[in-house]
Amino acid sequence: MVHQQIWNRRQALSGLRTGATLAVAGAAMPVFSSVAMAQDATPEAGAVGVPTVSVSGHGQVNVPPDTASVTIGVDIIKPTLTEAQTEAATQASSVIEALKAAGIASEDIQTSFFSVNLLRDYSENADPTLITGFEVINQLQVTVRDTDSLGDLLDAAVNAGANSIYGVTFYVDDQTAAASEARVMAVEDARAKAEELASAAGMSLGPVVAIAEGTAPIISPMYARGGGGMAMDAASTPVEAGSTTVTVDVQVTYELRG
């Protein structure tokens, strides 16, 4: 009887082990099936193992500028601060009035710099602690939307009291159309390069995998030089606007096909 009970326990334990093994094996079946399905999937364009080629493209359009920016100001030195401030204010007001009379809108005239400086004598045997005078500088940033009138405008500003003119820069106010044209040129340039590379490798171009753009307008500047005591009323100031270059650069990646 005792031997019969021992044998029955052994049979029960053996059945449990067999069932556990079957259960584990059954749970593992979906894992193998999932792996098989992943191996059968078709790789997408640009995925690992799909050959690609990346190239850069450049587009450039030259357009005549329609806007100019210039700094116009007064630089006054006087023995006393009151004298310097008074004369600087008077001349700056006259310059602003002349600019407006020439057709410059109020919103296109902006004070860009104003300073009051103490002047001292640092020469040999001089006393650097003594104030020898005062300098008042008042500069205006002016936007000129009629570039053909810029020369006459500068003359008018000088005649009104401006004695500091610099930083004349020409540019295109709205670059949308020029940038669109340059963008098309850049993409065409990139494709031509990619086709050459693909042909050299014995392959052909597939679809575009990625494309990125960088826009960088290049402004061609013109500088007008001036200084204290300028006298420009003897002859009209010549101004050449030149041209403005708008460029677009792209980086394009194509899929390659054998």
DSSP 186-234: HHHHHHHHHHHHHHHTT-EEEEEEEEEEEEEEE--B------TT---TT
SS3 call for 192: helix
Over the stretch 85-136, which tens digit does the pLDDT of each residue have? 999 999 999 999 999 999 999 999 999 999 999 999 888 888 888 999 999 9
Neighbours of 73 (CB within 10 A): 26
Q: Quick one: which of 256, 258, 253, 250 has its CA closest to 209?
A: 253
* pLDDT tens column, 44-93: 444 567 899 999 999 999 999 999 999 999 999 999 999 999 999 999 99
**What span, in angstroms and rounded, lies between the C-alpha atoms of 45 and 35?**
21
Q: What pTM was estimated for this model as a whole?
A: 0.62
Q: Which residue bears the tokens 């600019």?
A: 99
